[in-house]
A and B are shown apart, each in its own frame.
Chain A
Amino acid sequence: MNPAISQAPLQPLASEPDYLRSAQTLGSWLLTTDHKRIGILYMISITLLFFIGGVAAALLRLELASPAGDLVASATYNKLFTIHGVIMVWFFLIPSVPTVLGNFLLPLMIGARDVAFPRLNLASWYIFMFGACFTVFAIVAGGVDTGWTFYTPYSSTYANGAVIAMAAGVFITGFASIATGLNFIVTIHKMRAPGLTWFRLPLFVWTLYTTSLILVLATPVLAITLFLMALERLFGVGIFDPALGGDPILFQHLFWFYSHPAVYIMILPGMGVTSEIIACFARKRIFGYRFVAYASIAIAVLGFLVWGHHMFVSGQSVYAGAVFSLLSFLVAVPSAIKVFNWTATLYKGSITFDTPMLYALGFIGLFTVGGLTGLFVAALAVDVHLTDTYFVIAHFHYVMVGGMVMAYLGGIHFWWPKISGRLYPEFPARISALTIFAGFNLTFFPQFVLGMLGMPRRYHVYPDEFQLLNVLSSAGASILAVGYILPLAYLLWSLRYGKRAPANPWRATGLEWTTPSPPPTHNFAVTPTVNEPPYAYETLDEPSRDYV
């Protein structure tokens, strides 16, 4: 073994209790500034919100099982898809990996005792919950039927229901995003352990960094956009109303200037999780580490320049459309680099199919389908046919659910021993991963076909000839629901009955695995020094090498 390259040693057994047992009162959780506990607070919150959004989705699929509008009225249907979209986008997908796994892992991965601003971190959770309360209030107080995009004039001149309250919820939550992003950027710049240079960082940290850049640069624009929309509604002025001299397209430009980069907030951290899992379960260094790292930057930068592809048919200039189309194709390049490099990492690896790996492989497959169908809708002429059809629905669900939710669950399983100090039961976990994969494809693949055939989104009735595919999709959704409830059950079970986890159950590289499971409150009793490249699985797996 090359003595110059060595894994940081395991941390000595800490004298202080682990972060879960350090204090047990409710107050010690609600006033904690420990990044690990804040990650847990976020995990509980977004899980609850996920199930609210999920119930709305289940009702949508139930309604669509038959062509007639027999379960809910059209107005209720509109409210349901708005609830589903708003909750899932802002209260689950955007916070999911960054605030749960990111908060928990970032300081551990870079050898720090906490994030740079622990109090701001706690404040972000309170802001998030405050925003979530507004949104839940808006749902109870009559709901909103604008769709998650809040397009004017649905949200202004012709608004029904609690648009202002729901927009306020999203507006407030945005500041939680900004606080998290700011905290992560400063933490990654200023808090890395000695020897942990940028190109020794785990790729998960790279993706958190690029995600944070998008969070801090895009979210303020959303805040102002929703603020202007609320002003228009409250004061009766015509900022986006053409009858009063305003420009409705400006709303769409501003909205998508945030919301397209937000798509990358919702996928980049998932890519980071996948990189960690693939390397560990193939026992290999990530192929082309630097390219994967740079690809994250490229996706973040290009992601800011493609918002107009949501507006090909909304009356923007065709020349702008052509440029946006070209730039959208360019985003496929760094995305493809990642997919190819993960695949190359697998080549001649010693692959094992533990649950996190099943999720990661599922991510690669489903993200690839989602990404490639993105090229269909990035093509101007094809998009005219596909705009506002189920093809678009299927496309972005493949990226966000097939991609991000798979990655989130993969990451939860991968780091569960570190987070909880317990091992989850492997057999039901594999079953649930496979159930989710099968259920997901059955739900969303038929929607590609429906979209090609011309079925528009956001209608609760449809012609009879679309029924077969819709029934398949609804059946898939029921399988998917089982797949999501299973992990909730056995992960909670494992908290009490699971085997105790060793420090490094997967024999993985990375500083987080040198701490005890679960880690002590201050993470590292001895500040670690890093003197090896990331993912040094070859040296770790040398036969002469002992690990604990």
Chain B
Amino acid sequence: MSEPAAEIAHQFADAGQQRDAATFGMWIFLCTEVLLFGALFLGYTVYRLQNPEAFDEAAAHTLIVAGSINTAILLVSSFCVAVAVHLAEQGDRLRVTLLLCTAALLGALFLAVKAYEYNHKIHEGFFPGHSFHFAGADSRGVEMFFVLYFTMTGLHALHVAIGVAVLTGYGVAVLLAQRPARLTTAVDLAGLYWHFVDIVWVFLFPLFYLVGRAP
């Protein structure tokens, strides 16, 4: 991002081609991310079909309030990013920075809530492996639920952490850059990534918090 606005990387003919290539590359990257999470969703499907009661029972032990708060946090942060992308095209630097940093802050808050939840689970003995203990009948199925819970939300949290760093970085860069127009594409791509992270959570939330809670 150090090149001045007028400069186009040598392999491209014009700015339009450069922007198209970057955007298209981001979409392809997100496709690989879908497949990365997809394998885990397949694992969830298989083990839920094998242990339907255990999964319902285990899901009752997740913290639905914390999960719901986190869902709200991510949706609001995604909204901030969407507005930031819109304003970046109009060159409104101050607001773009504010919105990106707000989104990053919300992402950090999400991670804090998640850390609280993990801590709570570990204290209750739900961390899979040798220290796992569960008094109910089907402890194997419950343990599998928590293997998936920690793996999938952990991988998602890693993506959130990367997103927080990226959003903060671009938030600061937009404010300080000599030629912020060059960053419009970057903000756009960071936004795509953040929406993807958000969407993954939209699927994780019902699978780990809402199943089996219906009256």
Contacts and interface: CB of A to CB of B under 8 A. Distances in A.
A244 B32 contact: no
A224 B11 contact: no
B21 A191 contact: yes
A228 B151 CA distance: 8
A220 B36 contact: yes
Contact of A220 (B12, B39, B42, B129): B39
Contacts of A237: 128-129, 143, 147
A191 B16 CA distance: 12
Interface in A251-296: 254, 257
A257 B130 CA distance: 31
A116 B11 contact: yes
B17 interface: yes
Given A220-B36, A244-B143, A112 B11 contact: yes
Contacts of A114: 10-11
A417 to B, nearest CB: 24
A216 interface: yes
Interface in B146-194: 147, 151
Given A186-B28, A223-B36, A527-B13, A236 B140 contact: no
B140 A221 contact: no
B25 A221 contact: no
Interface string A187-227: 10111000000000000000000000000111111011100
Given A224-B39, A231-B151, A247-B47, A238 B25 contact: no
Given A117-B25, A190-B20, A247 B36 contact: no
Contact of B11 (A118, A223, A254): A118
Contacts of A115: 11
B144 A236 contact: no
Contacts of A113: 10-11
A178 B30 CA distance: 12
Contacts of B21: 116-117, 186-187, 190-191
Secondary structure dominating the interface of B: helix
**What class of interface size applies to chain A in its complex with B?**
35 or more
Contacts of A107: 11
A245 B51 contact: yes
Interface string A508-544: 0000000000000010000100000000000000000
Nearest to B139: A245
A194 to B, nearest CB: 9
A118 B50 CA distance: 47
A64 B140 CA distance: 45
Interface in B3-19: 9-13, 17
Interface string B28-44: 11011101101110110
A238 to B, nearest CB: 7
A186 B32 contact: no
B138 to A, nearest CB: 9
B141 interface: yes
B24 interface: yes
B214 interface: no
B46 interface: yes
A239 interface: yes
A220 B130 contact: no
A428 interface: no
A158 interface: no
A505 interface: no
Q: Which of A114, A115, A186, A191 has the most CB of B within 10 A?
A: A186
A44 interface: no
A522 B10 contact: yes
A31 interface: no
A185 interface: yes
Contacts of B143: 237-238, 244-245
Given A186-B24, A221-B35, A231-B147, 11 more contacts: A113-B11, A114-B11, A220-B38, A220-B39, A224-B40, A235-B128, A238-B143, A238-B147, A245-B140, A247-B47, A250-B46
Interface of A: 107, 112-118, 178, 182-183, 185-187, 189-191, 216-221, 223-225, 228, 231, 235-239, 244-247, 250, 254, 257, 522, 527
14 contacts: A107-B11, A115-B11, A118-B9, A185-B24, A185-B28, A220-B32, A220-B38, A221-B36, A223-B36, A238-B140, A238-B144, A239-B144, A254-B39, A527-B13
Among all A-B residue pairs, the 3 with the closest Cβ atoms: A245-B140, A114-B11, A220-B36
